[in-house]
């Protein structure tokens, strides 16, 4: 804006009359903490070395699988066979729950979320480390977007340790005031007994602090998610036949296919060890050391070229020997690259002319003629003969310029070896698929495993429901009386009377929400209370989460007023901005009241929310009151007889 006018002309001044607006923050971005198959992000392995723990944002299940891997193998497979080798009973369990919790999140309407991987998959429940989960929780403290906290694998800790993690989750929510915790109950798949009640044990260990920032759900749920069915996991399971131990379940399967799979396993093991001594380029290349590096590269890949295999039946196209033969055959990528390298070394000697001495894939050694070190290497010029037609590499006269060319060729050959290993692994997977198609015993075991339900704590599904309800109705709508997708049944059926003690805790006020089946409706979430179930202000999940949303939205929007003049002009703008935001919330149905004045108020000003001393100290107090709608938890229908009038 011009403050003085010195040159004749027309000046334009734009006057701001509209107040700034408040943008509503996201309300359902959960952060999941747990163990994953891998954590390879941006070229860095987060499971290696010091085990970096960093929250990573994803938007879909494929995103998760790309960065963190797939489902864990079942850690327990215990199957008893009948006398005819059909399955009598099957007991299947898996330790790590994060992948399946993510699946339930997306099945129930989830979107963006954060993943905190605290390590690789475990083989025993004792490996689930409380300190790792807490470390993952601390890593989230520096990340702003998450609004929900979920740690499904706390159910593998002792009740005391699980309660400690839960208390820390609630403490972080209270400290940051921008997130809400969904807690899982240890042994929540079990019914209460006179001697052991999972809900009472949970209440005893979660503490009494910050309860308004969390909710818990009981019981666990039987999902429709399938277990990962893997040949390796099956053959390492525990098998009995009519109660008697089975020494090797492989002996019950088709022997020909099992033998092929075993041979491929042997080949994969041997190939994994090759090459044993990868060549290392000299730090300072010269004509004295580059020839040795070249010979190392050639010998390095020659090992692969001359491999022999246990799966050696070349009449079968998917055998290891057949796959390998295709890779080293005339004009294959591997063959041509190796020939290029061979020719380049040959023609780098100015005394060697064309044509190429390469006659067939039957390779010799670089130390043998025609590349005898006494003849070829001492007189290297590293310029390509003009009569060879070899234009893969440009002519060059220095060893320094040739070294990167050698390295590029080495990388290309390495890539081909990797593809070969992948092809062999795919052929092995095809063999196991064939076994499942033609072998009745193996197929019966797969069917028995497929029939088992993955049992999960409900937190993953619940945050998916939170996201779905928020997107379709609003954060002010209670996430209850909503069906859970991907669930066949709760692990425990709760009656109307049994839910009384869950909903209203007369001792400490810690409400636990029920998940119940209803005929014709499916599995419903039948509770909407926070852990502070006896608190009239923060009893309901929807009220607490709406306040979190409103507080965070208004807080972020008012940051622009920091260091603005603490005067009436600023107060008017601030009040108008907040009132406009709350008016929109009232119109959407989040606030109760026949008119806006009944639904909320915003107060700011000298003599109203501030004293002269506050103004002198740079303090601007804004008071906001909201009448958030509360769920109709108890609907009472009153009936009476009406007298007949005619």
pLDDT digit string (tens) for 578-611?
999 999 999 999 999 999 999 999 999 999 999 9
* Residue ranges of the chain whose pLDDT lies below 50: 1, 350, 360-397
**Domain-located, residue 235:** no
Calculate ∠ Cα 242-247-249, nearest 5°.
80
- Domain total for the chain? 3
**Domain-located, residue 327:** yes
**Domain-located, residue 137:** yes
Residue that finishes a domain, picked among 541, 573, 592: 541
One domain for residues 424 and 458: no
How far is it, in rounded angstroms, from Cα 455 to Cα 94? 9
Q: Which of 122, 33, 117 is nearest to 67 (CA)?
A: 117
One domain for residues 145 and 180: yes
Contact 488, 133 (CB under 8 A): no
Q: H/E element holding 324?
A: helix 320-328
One domain for residues 568 and 497: no
One domain for residues 473 and 413: no
One domain for residues 155 and 187: yes
247 in helix, strand or coil? coil
**Domain-located, residue 528:** yes
Host domain of residue 103: 30-227+454-541
Q: What is the domain-level CATH number for residue 486?
A: 3.40.50.11780
**Domain-located, residue 462:** yes
83 in helix, strand or coil? coil
One domain for residues 97 and 223: yes
One domain for residues 430 and 459: no
**What pLDDT is stored for residue 275 in this prediction?**
62
How far is it, in rounded angstroms, from Cα 579 to Cα 454? 48
One domain for residues 289 and 357: yes
One domain for residues 81 and 162: yes
Bridge partners, 80 (sequence order): 89, 240
Residue that finishes a domain, picked among 438, 469, 499: 438
pTM (2 d.p.): 0.81
- The CA-to-CA distance between both ends of the chain, in Å, stands at 82
**Domain-located, residue 306:** yes
One domain for residues 204 and 112: yes
Within 10 angstroms of residue 56's Cβ, the number of other Cβ atoms is 18
One domain for residues 528 and 572: no
One domain for residues 173 and 301: no
**Domain-located, residue 19:** no
How far is it, in rounded angstroms, from Cα 264 to Cα 260? 6
Contact 513, 502 (CB under 8 A): yes
Q: Which of 224, 227, 216, 138 is nearest to 182 (CA)?
A: 216
Q: Which of 358, 361, 433, 425 is nearest to 389 (CA)?
A: 358
Convert 115-169 into a string of H (helix), E (strand) and C (coil). Answer: EEECCCCCCCHHHCCHHHHHHHHHHHCCCCCCCEEECHHHHHCCHHHHHHHHHHH
Report residue 504 as tokens.
């209203």
Residue that finishes a domain, picked among 391, 412, 438: 438
Contact 85, 241 (CB under 8 A): yes
**Domain-located, residue 112:** yes
CA-only gyration radius of the chain, Å: 35
């Amino acid at each position: 804006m011009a403050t003085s006018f010195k040159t004749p002309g027309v000046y334009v001044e734009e006057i701001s009359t509209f107040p700034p607006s408040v943008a509503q923050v996201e309300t359902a971005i959960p952060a999941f903490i747990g163990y994953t198959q891998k954590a390879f992000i941006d070229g860095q392995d987060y499971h290696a070395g010091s085990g970096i723990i960093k929250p990573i944002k994803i938007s879909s299940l494929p995103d998760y699988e790309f960065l963190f891997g797939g489902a864990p193998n079942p850690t327990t497979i215990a199957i008893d066979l009948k006398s005819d080798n059909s399955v009598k009973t099957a007991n299947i369990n898996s330790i790590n729950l994060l992948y399946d919790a993510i699946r339930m999140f997306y099945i129930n309407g989830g979107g963006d979320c954060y993943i905190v991987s605290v390590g690789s998959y475990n083989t025993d429940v004792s490996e689930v480390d409380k300190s790792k989960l807490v470390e993952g929780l601390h890593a989230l403290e520096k990340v702003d977007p998450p609004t929900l906290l979920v740690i499904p694998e706390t159910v593998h800790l002792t009740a005391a340790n699980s309660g400690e993690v839960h208390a820390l989750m609630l403490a972080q929510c209270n400290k940051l005031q921008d997130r809400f915790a969904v807690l899982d109950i240890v042994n929540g798949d079990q019914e209460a007994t006179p001697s052991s009640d999972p809900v009472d044990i949970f209440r005893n260990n979660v503490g009494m602090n910050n309860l308004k920032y969390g909710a818990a759900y009981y019981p666990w749920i039987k999902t429709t998610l399938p277990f990962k069915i893997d040949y390796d996991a099956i053959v390492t399971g525990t098998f009995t036949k009519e109660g008697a131990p089975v020494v090797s379940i492989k002996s019950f399967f088709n022997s020909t296919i099992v033998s092929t799979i075993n041979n491929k396993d042997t080949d994969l093991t041997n190939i994994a060890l090759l090459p044993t001594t990868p060549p290392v380029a000299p730090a300072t290349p010269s004509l004295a050391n580059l020839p040795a590096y070249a010979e190392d590269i050639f010998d390095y890949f020659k090992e692969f070229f001359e491999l022999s295999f246990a799966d050696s039946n070349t009449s079968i196209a998917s055998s290891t020997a057949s796959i390998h033969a295709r890779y080293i055959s005339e004009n294959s990528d591997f063959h041509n690259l190796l020939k290029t390298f061979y020719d380049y070394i040959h023609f780098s000697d100015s005394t060697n002319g064309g044509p190429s001495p390469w006659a067939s894939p039957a390779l010799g050694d670089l130390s043998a003629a025609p590349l005898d070190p006494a003849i070829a290497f001492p007189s290297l010029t590293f310029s390509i003969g003009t009569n060879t037609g070899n234009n893969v590499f440009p002519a060059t006269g220095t060893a320094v310029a040739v070294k990167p060319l050698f390295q590029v060729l080495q990388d290309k050959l390495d890539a081909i070896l990797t593809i070969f290993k992948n092809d062999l692994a795919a052929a092995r997977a095809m063999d196991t698929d064939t076994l499942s198609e033609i072998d009745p015993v193996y197929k019966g075991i797969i069917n028995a495993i497929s029939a088992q339900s993955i049992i999960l704590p409900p937190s993953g599904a619940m945050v998916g429901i939170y996201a779905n309800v928020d997107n379709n109705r609003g954060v002010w709508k209670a996430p209850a009386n909503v069906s859970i997708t991907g669930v066949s049944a709760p692990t425990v059926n709760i009656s109307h009377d049994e839910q009384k003690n869950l909903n209203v805790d007369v001792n400490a006020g810690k409400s636990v929400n029920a998940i119940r089946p209803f005929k014709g409706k499916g599995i419903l979430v039948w509770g909407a209370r926070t852990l502070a179930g006896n608190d009239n202000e923060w009893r309901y999940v929807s009220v607490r989460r709406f306040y979190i949303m409103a507080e965070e939205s208004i807080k972020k929007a008012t940051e622009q007023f920091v260091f603005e003049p603490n005067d009436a002009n600023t107060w008017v703008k601030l009040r108008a901005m907040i009132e406009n935001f709350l008016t929109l919330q009232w119109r959407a149905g989040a606030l109760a009241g026949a008119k806006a004045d009944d639904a909320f108020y915003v107060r700011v000003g000298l003599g109203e929310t501030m004293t002269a001393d506050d103004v002198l100290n740079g303090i601007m107090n804004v008071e906001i009151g909201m009448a958030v709608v509360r769920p109709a938890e108890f609907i009472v229908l009153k009936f009476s007889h009406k007298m007949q009038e005619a």
